[in-house]
Structure 1
Amino acid sequence: VGLHTETRLLRKSLLATGVMIAGFVLGFPIPLAALVGAAILLISRRIEPESVFREIDLSLLVFFGGLFIVTGAIESVGLSGQIFTFARPLAERGIAALSLVAVVLSNLISNVPAVLLFRPYIPDFPQPAQAWLTLAMSTTLAGNLTLLGSVANLIVAEIAYRRNVNLSFTEYLKAGPIITLFSLALGILWLMWVF
């Protein structure tokens, strides 16, 4: 079996990655460096827009937008403050406790909205850098716990369904919790060692 390679795309991707890393190293704002890298790939593409648009799943896009609307509503009515007031004593106890709170929240509202709800409160933590890294690690890995934990999981389930593979919530639970608990334990141990 031969390996199919896209040499031209590989070169463009390496160039874009190199420009982006150079931007990071030279002190450019991270969003600007990332946008320049993405722009290189977008401007130099040879794919017809119509073929890309056909692959967009509108229902998932609307769902994802809805998550951000709900997150904004939770913030604007003050519910996020109340949730955080309740969870803060536990979350400030350290890496493992913050990870637990993040895992629960990530699986209630998905991992990206969970990070957005934490955002205003992390700077007030005793060690904000540690809290940000813990939040990044735990919300990313928490997305693997249940099918609803991450929008990426829903995208995979939707694509599988279109190909006649039913990836149900209970089917996902056969692997998700084991993988999540193992990877979270390793992540927590690693961050405890680093800090």
Structure 2
Amino acid sequence: MSATVAIAVFVVAYLFIATEKIPKMVTALAGAGIVLALGVLGSEDAFYSHDTGVDWDVIFLLLGMMIIVGVLRKTGVFEYTAIWAAKRAKGSPLRIMLLLVLITAVASAFLDNVTTVLLMAPVTLLVCDRLDINPVPFLIAEVMASNIGGAATLIGDPPNIIIGSRAGLTFNDFLVNMAPIVAIELVVFCLVLPRLFRGSFTVDPDRVADVMALNEREAIHDKRLLIKCGVVLLAVFAAFIGHSIFHIEPSVVALLGAGVLVLLSQAKPKDYLASVEWETLLFFAGLFIMIGALVKTGVIGDLAKLAADATGGNALLAVMLILGVSALLSGVVDNIPYVATMSPLVLDLTNSIADPTHSEALWWSLALGADFGGNATAIGASANVVVLGIAARAGSPISFWEFTKKGVIITLITVLVAAPYLWLRYFVFA
């Protein structure tokens, strides 16, 4: 009975989120309230459980980075970067998109992809404002690039951290096995962009001339604050990258960085709290609780086990099935709880496969499927939800279906490219 309630609440909430008849934050909180009120989850499950509760690491990572971005915004560095990018691309919208996509993808490999889009989205909005072009295609392209680029390393995408911990895989393991396919995927992604966003690259020549005449250095209006922000950000990024050495969670690092920067800048609460996407944070909280209900009642586990059982001991079939199922389910539910549920089952599968190369390929198929599948829908990955929140506040809302129509295409392409890579590398040339 509890499983039926959890499924019904999630499906109804998903339909409301997809149709956007009710604000997604309201829908998520209402769904969370229902599963709590009906006893599907208790307060212990929702607020204290690592498996079924709100992922406070994600919430506080976002909060800390949003505060840092709020202080950083006062320096004018986003305006500087926007003008610099537009001038380097000679005012061409397509070249600007490609430049921002590549910067986002590379940054997402060494930071987590949520942090990257928090830093890149304000730059993108300013570039598009300067050129008077629609920012929506640029934001969608960037968040997809962040999910692709984040797959390259252990710390780039939260599901990778879960997989690394469960499988005992190191930063270098991810770099050696995931970075090559991510590089290939980025090339394919860049080739697809002109067709995917056809009609989005028209710009007024007068606007281009105006941007080319700007001096980006004049955009920096508080150099001392910029230096302080730079020092704090370098420390935060170093702690992110050294997570496996320092054993300090990214959420703690982000909160510490935010606190130090607020003290150093002596910023007023109204200045830095204005950049906090409260609706996005509350939406995440509600979504985590609804998905937690699916996890606790065994719905997600049963789906994952069905996929695992269908392989019949065939390693190649298992790899391809995990890749496809992971891409599909990660587009429907957030890829973090999906991987947390699926990883024990993959571990069981690896123990039943004698060839170590074949068994390790199961982990890479899970990572690729979950990371790339996060692009499928507007709620498939945390970075997607964050960018949609930023776009809405900037007056350029991205609808669920506007994102999903593009996301499904990119997910299909990236999975189709990943499949032969897994086959060739771990089965043909192993």
* TM-score between both structures, scaled by the size of structure 2: 0.38
2:349 to 111, 125, 133: 125
Cα contact 2:349–2:359 (8 A) shared by 1: yes
Classify the secondary structure of the residue corresponding to 1:175: helix
State the 1:143 CA deviation. 1.6
Q: Which one is further off, 90-99 or 109-118? A: 90-99
State the 1:63 CA deviation. 2.2
Classify the secondary structure of the residue corresponding to 2:379: helix
Q: Cα deviations across residues 10-68 of structure 1 (Å, max 9, x unaligned)?
A: 333334444555563xx554xx2746754662343135444343333333322212222
**Partner in structure 1 of residue 284 of structure 2:** 64
Q: Does 1:11 align with 2:235?
A: no
> What aligned pairs does 1:42-191 form with structure 2 within 5 A after superposition?
42-45=258-261, 46=265, 47-90=267-310, 93-126=317-350, 129-191=360-422
CA distance in 2, matches of 1:35, 1:194: 35
Cα contact 2:300–2:341 (8 A) shared by 1: yes
Q: Given the superposition, is the C-alpha separation of residues 16 and 124 from structure 1 closer, same or farther in structure 2, using an over 3 Å criterion?
A: same
Q: Which one is further off, 70-79 or 125-134? A: 125-134
Cα contact 2:379–2:385 (8 A) shared by 1: yes
Q: Given the superposition, is the C-alpha separation of residues 156 and 19 from structure 1 closer, same or farther in structure 2, using an over 3 Å criterion?
A: closer
CA distance in 1, matches of 2:360, 2:270: 43
CA distance in 1, matches of 2:405, 2:297: 37
State the 1:100 CA deviation. 0.9
Cα contact 2:307–2:321 (8 A) shared by 1: no
Classify the secondary structure of the residue corresponding to 1:177: helix
Q: Given the superposition, is the C-alpha separation of residues 168 and 134 from structure 1 closer, same or farther in structure 2, using an over 3 Å criterion?
A: same
Classify the secondary structure of the residue corresponding to 1:144: coil
State the 1:105 CA deviation. 1.0
Question: Cα RMSD (Å) of the superposition?
Answer: 3.2
Cα contact 1:122–1:128 (8 A) shared by 2: no
Q: Given the superposition, is the C-alpha separation of residues 73 and 40 from structure 1 closer, same or farther in structure 2, using an over 3 Å criterion?
A: closer
Higher RCO by CA contacts (8 Å cutoff, separation 6 or greater):
2
| Matched AA of 1:148 | I
State the 1:87 CA deviation. 1.6
Q: Between Structure 1 and Structure 2, whose CA radius of gyration is higher?
A: 2
State the 1:119 CA deviation. 3.5
Cα contact 1:138–1:184 (8 A) shared by 2: yes
State the 1:178 CA deviation. 2.7
Classify the secondary structure of the residue corresponding to 1:148: coil
Q: Given the superposition, is the C-alpha separation of residues 80 and 37 from structure 1 closer, same or farther in structure 2, using an over 3 Å criterion?
A: closer
CA distance in 1, matches of 2:392, 2:242: 41
Classify the secondary structure of the residue corresponding to 2:305: helix
Cα contact 2:376–2:407 (8 A) shared by 1: yes
* TM-score between both structures, scaled by the size of structure 1: 0.74
Cα contact 1:20–1:36 (8 A) shared by 2: no
Q: Cα deviations across residues 98-137 of structure 1 (Å, max 9, x unaligned)?
A: 1211111112222222223224323212166543333233
**Partner in structure 1 of residue 80 of structure 2:** none
2:257 to 16, 35, 41: 41
- Please, which runs of 5 or more residues in structure 1 have no aligned partner? none
State the 1:78 CA deviation. 2.4
Cα contact 2:277–2:390 (8 A) shared by 1: no
- Please, which runs of 5 or more residues in structure 2 have no aligned partner? 1-213, 221-225, 351-357
